[in-house]
Amino acid sequence: MTGLQARLRADLLTARKARDTTATAVLRSTLAAIANAEALPVTETALATDGTASSSTSAQGPIAGAATGVGATEAARRDLSDKDIREIISAEQTERRAAAADMESHGAGEKAEQLRAEAELLGAYL
């Protein structure tokens, strides 16, 4: 975990304790976006062409093709740098600004202001 990611998590805890629903929602969604970016894509070799599991899983046991043993459910994750995380935060901020402009054009000024406040909050991490 990078320093920026640790700061986001610490700020989430602070926001939750302060019952700041806006900051809590923004930080949770941003941390979820970071977690999604850390996930590695599923490769096509994970399944054989006939739909059965590949040779990395066991054909033995109560469920054919199931992975067994310690760590069988662990999935590899990518290590993101602070730069990568800033790019994700920037994308989240841009998305909120675009949504605010869209809301404003549809007459939902209050929701647009909320989205702008969320984008402003994310700006503190860039």
Which pLDDT does position 49 carry in this prediction?
47
Which pLDDT does position 55 carry in this prediction?
46
49 within 8 A of 58, measured Cβ to Cβ: no
Residue 39 backbone phi and psi in degrees, to 5: -70, 140
Instruction: Kindly report the pTM of this predicted structure.
Output: 0.74
Q: Which amino acid is at 105?
A: S
Asked whether residue 126 is domain-assigned, the answer is: yes
15 within 8 A of 27, measured Cβ to Cβ: yes
Which pLDDT does position 75 carry in this prediction?
73
Asked whether residue 64 is domain-assigned, the answer is: no
pLDDT 10s digits, 46-95: 544 444 544 444 455 566 666 667 766 677 788 999 999 999 999 999 99
Which pLDDT does position 5 carry in this prediction?
94
Residues listed for the chain: 126
Q: Which amino acid is at 24?
A: T
Which pLDDT does position 70 carry in this prediction?
72
* 77, β-bridge pairs: 39
- Centroid of chain to Cα 31: 5
* 52, β-bridge pairs: none
What is the span of the domain harbouring residue 123?
Answer: 1-36+79-126
Asked whether residue 117 is domain-assigned, the answer is: yes
Asked whether residue 59 is domain-assigned, the answer is: no
Asked whether residue 103 is domain-assigned, the answer is: yes
Asked whether residue 65 is domain-assigned, the answer is: no
Write the CATH number for 89: 1.10.1510
Asked whether residue 21 is domain-assigned, the answer is: yes
Number of domains in the chain: 1
